[in-house]
Amino acid sequence: MAKATDYNEIIRQEEMEKKGVEPVSHTYLGSPINPLPRGLPKTISSLCPECCKVIEGRLFEENGKVILEKECPVHGSFRDIYWSDVNLYLKAERWTFGEGHGLTNPK
> What pLDDT was estimated at residue 2?
44
Query: Which is it for strands 76-83 and 42-47: parallel, antiparallel or unpaired?
Result: unpaired
- Tell me: the pLDDT tens digits for 29-76? 888 877 777 889 999 999 999 999 999 999 999 999 999 999 999 999
* Cβ-contact 90, 4 below 8 angstroms: yes
Measure Cα distances from 10 to 5, 14, 34, 72, 73 in Å: 9, 6, 19, 37, 39
Q: Give the number of C-alpha atoms closer than 13 A to the C-alpha of residue 75, restricted to the C-beta side.
A: 13
Provide the whole-model pTM: 0.62
Would you say residue 1 has pLDDT above 50?
Answer: no
- Reported confidence tier of residue 82, pLDDT bands at 50, 70, 90: very high
- Tell me: the pLDDT tens digits for 5-30? 566 667 667 776 777 666 677 788 88
